[in-house]
Amino acid sequence: MNKKNSHINPSLDTEYVLKEAEKLVSRQLDHSHRRRFLKQGLTLGGLAMLTGCDISDNSSVESALTRISGMNDRVQAWLFSGQLLAPVYTESQITRPFPFNAFYSEDEAPVIEAADYKLAVSGLVADKREWTLPMLYQMTQVSQVTRHICVEGWSAIGKWGGVPFADFLKLIGTDLNAQYVSFKCADDYYTSIDMATALHPQTLLALTYDGEPLPRKYGFPMKLRMPTKLGYKNPKHIQVIEVTNNYTGGYWEDQGYNWFGGI
């Protein structure tokens, strides 16, 4: 069994849930699509992101399975577009308070002074100038309400605002054929993502949470918010962004979590 599943609520029969979900999805596909789907497989995180449901207990699993049987179009899009949009929510659905999580406790979160902050950009990009916060605030900002899913067995809906990461990557002259974008953070955390996810329309260089500057505990001054990836792939307190063809893994990924970790 995949190591990351061991963090999901132990009362859940993971194998059973995934088998049921796969049966439901396969039923909606023709032969060649079914073959492709079964090869690709389904994870609990993928099921949660596909249905927009929290999959942390048995009753939520029931509703996720019920939803899947009525979502033929979405399943097709998920499998074949490569640009599936994660579900979005209304502001009234935001989880309050939004949980904090890291490999340390909240009072140990890095302290970063806004005025001193510099974002370094390296690797396969034309413009390697350092970025200050005012430079990032000057770019066109958008916001979105999406669900964050942590493999430790919780999920929560939050609102993040910032710069579409694709805009940022294009502005600095990124080689869009490069394989990876990797991140180093102000704590010991690091991660890396595939270029398709970096360019996904919902991937945000997030500077705000719920309309306010990103609080320290949620990654001040900047994090990458990807509703198509599980929580452990969403880096907080980013200090270095590198575009590269070298695999650089990640803090959790190097301990056995799935590197792709998303849809």
Ligand X SMILES: Nc1nc2c(c(=O)[nH]1)N[C@H]1C(S)=C(S)[C@@H](COP(=O)(O)O)O[C@H]1N2
263 touches ligand X by CB under 6 A: no
Among 94, 102, 124, 166, binds ligand X (CB under 6 A): 102
- Binding-site size for ligand X (CB under 6 A) equals 17
Contact 121, 133 (CB under 8 A): no
Does residue number 162 form part of the binding site for Mo ion (CB under 5 A)? no
Q: Does 235 bind Mo ion (CB under 5 A)?
A: no
* Shortest distance in whole angstroms from residue 151 CB to Mo ion: 6
Q: From the list 119, 149, 150, 207, which residue makes contact with Mo ion (rule: CB under 5 A)? A: 150
Indicate the residue among 131 and 252 with the shorter CB distance to Mo ion.
Answer: 252
Between 60 and 101, whose beta carbon lies closer to ligand X?
101
227 binds Mo ion (CB under 5 A): no
Is 117 one of the binding residues for ligand X (CB under 6 A)? no
Of the pair 122, 255, the CB lying nearest ligand X is at: 255
Site for ligand X in 188-227 (CB under 6 A): 189, 217-218
235 binds ligand X (CB under 6 A): yes
**CB closest to ligand X, residue no:** 231
Nearest CB to ligand X, comparing residues 25 and 44 = 44
Q: Which two tokens mark 255?
A: 């301990």
250 binds Mo ion (CB under 5 A): no
Q: What is the 3-state secondary structure (H, E, C) of the chain?
A: CCHHHHHCCCCCCHHHHHHHHHHHHHHCCCHHHHHHHHHHCCCHHHHHHHHCCCCCCHHHHHHHHHHHHCCHHHHHHHHHCCCCCCCCCCHHHCCCCCCCCCCCCHHHCCCCCHHHCCEEEEECECCCCCECHHHHHCCCCEEEEEEEEECCCEEEEEEEEEEEHHHHHHHCCECCCCCEEEEEECCCCEEEEEHHHHCCCCCEEEEEECCEECCHHHCCCCEEECCCECHHHCCCCEEEEEEECCCCCCCCHHHCCCCCCEC
Nearer to ligand X, 55 or 75 (CB): 55
**Residue 231 binds ligand X (CB under 6 A):** yes
| Site residues (vs ligand X, CB under 6 A) | 99-103, 150, 185, 187, 189, 217-218, 231-232, 234-237
